[in-house]
Every structure is written in C-alpha cells, then in structure tokens.
Amino acid sequence: MLLAFDVGNTNIVLGVFRDGEMITNWRLATDNGKSADEYGMIIHNLFRYEKLDPAEVKDVIISTVVPSILYTLQHLSQKYFNRKALVIGPGIKTGLIVKYDNPKQVGADRIVNAVAARAKYGGPLIIIDFGTATTFCAVTAKGEYIGGTIAPGLKISSDALFEKTAILPKVELEEPGQVICRNTNSSMQSGLVYGHMGVVEYITGKMKKELVEYSIAEGIDAKAEDVKVIATGGLANLIEGGVDCIDYVDKLLTLEGLEIIYRKNKKCK
C-alpha cells in the first residue's frame, strides 16, 4: 500500500492506495505543535478503524506547503512505517514543463494538482484549488505549467472580517440566497461567498484568454471553449454551484496526483 500526505495550511489530507486505487482517505487538522508520535498514533488508530494493517504500507509520499511540519512527517514515516518518505520538491519527476520564473517557488500542491488534472482531463486546463488560499493554475495542452494566480481563500477573508473589525461577528460560510440582505450575518455571507464567486468568474475568464493567447504564440491551436476548468479543495462545491466557469469538481485531485507522481518516480529507481 501507498500512504499519501497532502499537507495544507489548515488540513492534512491522507490517502491510502492499493494497486493504484484509493481505498480510503482522511482529513486531519494541520498542527505544528503535534509530534511525530502524536500523529503516528492518530494514523494507526485510523488504520485500525478501517481494518487496515499499517505493516502493509510499502511507501509514503508527502506534498506539503508547510515546511515546518515536513520533518515531523518524515520522522513519522521512518518510525511508524519503516519507510523513507518521497517528498515533492526539486528533482522529483512530474512530467510537467514548469515555466515559472523560479520553479522552486511553485507550491507542491499546485504541481501535484496539475499532474493529476492533466492525466485525468487532458489539456489545456485551469485548476482552481479552494484551500486556505484560492489558487488558479494554467496548463497548456503540451503539459506546460505556465503560472497562475493566488487569491485569499474564503476562510481567510472571513477570519479577516471578524478579526479586523470591532463588531462584525464570525459567520458560517454558506449562501444567504440573496445579495440585498437585511441582517449583518447574511450581509457578510453574501459579500464573502458571492464576492468569491465573482473573483472566480473574472480570473477564470481572463486566464482562459491569456492561456489561449500563449498557446497560439507557441504554435498550438487553442480556443477558449477547449479549456477545461477543474475545481478541487474543501469549498469547491460551495462556489461551483454559483458559477458557470467550472467544468468538474474533483475533491481528491491532489491525492490522486501524489499516486501518479509516486508511480513516475518508482519506475526511475
């Protein structure tokens, strides 16, 4: 079995694969204060709950945007699974051509998402990940990762309104059903959720135009209607319901990308 870790600023999502198929997944809170032993015991209990044998784990792969937790998970992998983890970073084979000014600056999760989306949906692509930040990534039909946009995520925006104002309350992230609202909670929900939908529509439309222009300049025939838009992340369904630009919601995209990258690198050992 393969154990995959997708570490975000808010959550750690774990997936277990057997013969290339995901058999289960879990979501934990990202906590820099937890030790390898604490995480190790939590994960072993999750395995027992699912009637899985930790001894069957033959490899571990980690994608993280939280560098401070990497050592903890590497230590966990060695101590509890007797495996040296494969970590997404420089030197890892992905099959993508990264056109970023400095490829080392691209978040591991963005690369992993792009690998999975291209394998599953072809190209050209825009991948939107609704996490702590909302990221937009553009991939050409040739598998070139040409860049993207990073915007504050819905939860960050909500927390900022609560923390930086004197009297505004903390609200649930859900649609209020209208934009002319008659109470503070609904007004905040409207601004947060519908405002984010507007951001998604605008950036996606502009990104499609730029992706097509880039492709044509590179000699690749491309039209805006050919660009598939894939959404992932915890809040993807909330936003997808109110926009027209998203073609597919794929909540486990990052975990599937980790399994694909694992297979690419396993062949090279």
- Residue type at position 128: I
Catalytic residues: 109
The region, left, alpha or beta by phi > 0 then psi within -120 to 50, assigned to residue 82 is: left
Which residue from 160, 167, 262, 149 is spatially nearest to 205, judged by alpha carbons?
149
Q: How far apart are CA 153 and CA 79, in angstroms?
A: 35
Close Cβ partners of 164 (under 8 Å, ≥ 6 residues apart):
none
Q: Burial-class residue 165 by CB neighbours within 10 Å (0-12, 13-18, 19+).
A: exposed
- The two three-digit tokens of residue 33, written as one number: 């204060």
Cβ neighbours, 10 Å, residue 47: 21
